[in-house]
Amino acid sequence: MQQAAVLTWIFDAEVPWNDYLLLRAFANVFVGHGRQFYSCRCLLTCASFFPLQASGLLSSADTPAALLVITNLLKHLQKTMSQSSEHSGRAYLVTGAASGMGLATAKLLLARGACVAATDINETELATQYRDTGNERAITIVLDITKKDAVQRTLDASRHRFGRLDGIANFAGTGGHRLGLDNVWETTPEEADFLIDLNVKGLYNILHEGLQEGRLSEPGGSIVHIASMFAEVGFKKGAVFSASKHAAAGMVKSAAIEAGARGIRVNCILPGAVDTPMHQANLASDADDPTGPTPINRPGKPDEIAVVAGLLLSDQSSFTTGSLWRVDGGANS
């Protein structure tokens, strides 16, 4: 039997172990092709190794290789199961969860077993993204993080709904022409106020309310803020925007020092260009793209930021706090 035919066939029927030729074909695929046929190896490992061995078709020379495949596969499955449930039983609040990186992070946390309060200022988009999830572990709340009372109510509602709150991922942001990308002498007071309110005061509201006693799990709580690669550098026509991101990074570092004794960690992600609706809006505007090219020569994907956020929210980063994580494709290298 041709190997390609075997690859198609094994997903559709039970293996007839009395078929000598089929056993031999499976043995060849199982032992000889490694990662190229990884999905087939998953099916063959538990179901066919011992019948193959008993049939005498698996030579003594092949047995060590087959055992190595089994060992590596079991390790992989254990790791996958661990990752898929690492947030099980936990509850998080995600701001900016209607699109882009916030949406990707909320979905990742849900996929890994967490309860998620997905919040955003865009009520329509929020309802659209979570309407058909059918997931009882997800709730949606319209939230403007520049409103301190609204942040307080949202945190309390989330904790009341889930019975606990283990972390916050703050992705709330803005893009397009609202970035105020002008020379500092051309930036209007209204644009400056808007950026400072959202990027600095908004984060202050999250930290001030999130770190009140009894809001987050102690120990074990985690807050992840999404700033920008421009929290470390400036750029042309970005004085106020960059200043707001520098301020946010400083606030994260100080909050981490203050909350550390309570077992709560605070970290910051500094993304570069990421292919989100916000980034597309910036590219569609007349302004130059300040992120520029990267060594990787492509924008990031929302899922690539979500993975880092998930790590920083989890116990796998239990010794990490006050850190600034560059996830920018090497743009600031």
Is CATH 3.40.50.720 the right assignment for the domain spanning 87-327?
yes
**Residue 265, number of CB atoms within 10 A of its CB:** 26
pTM of this structure: 0.72
Q: Where are the domains of the chain?
A: 3-83, 87-327
Q: What is the mean pLDDT of the chain?
A: 79
What is the DSSP secondary-structure string of 138-179? EEEEE--TT-HHHHHHHHHHHHHHHS---EEEE-----GGGG
Q: Calculate mean pLDDT across residues 157-168.
A: 96
Distance of alpha carbon 117 from alpha carbon 80, whole angstroms: 25
The percent of residues in the chain predicted with pLDDT above 90, rounded, is: 51
Strands (E), the chain: 91-95, 115-120, 138-142, 167-170, 222-226, 265-271, 324-327
- What does the block give as tokens for 88? 């099980």
Q: With bands split at pLDDT 50, 70 and 90, how would you rate the model's confidence at 134?
A: low
Q: Calculate mean pLDDT across residues 233-255.
A: 93
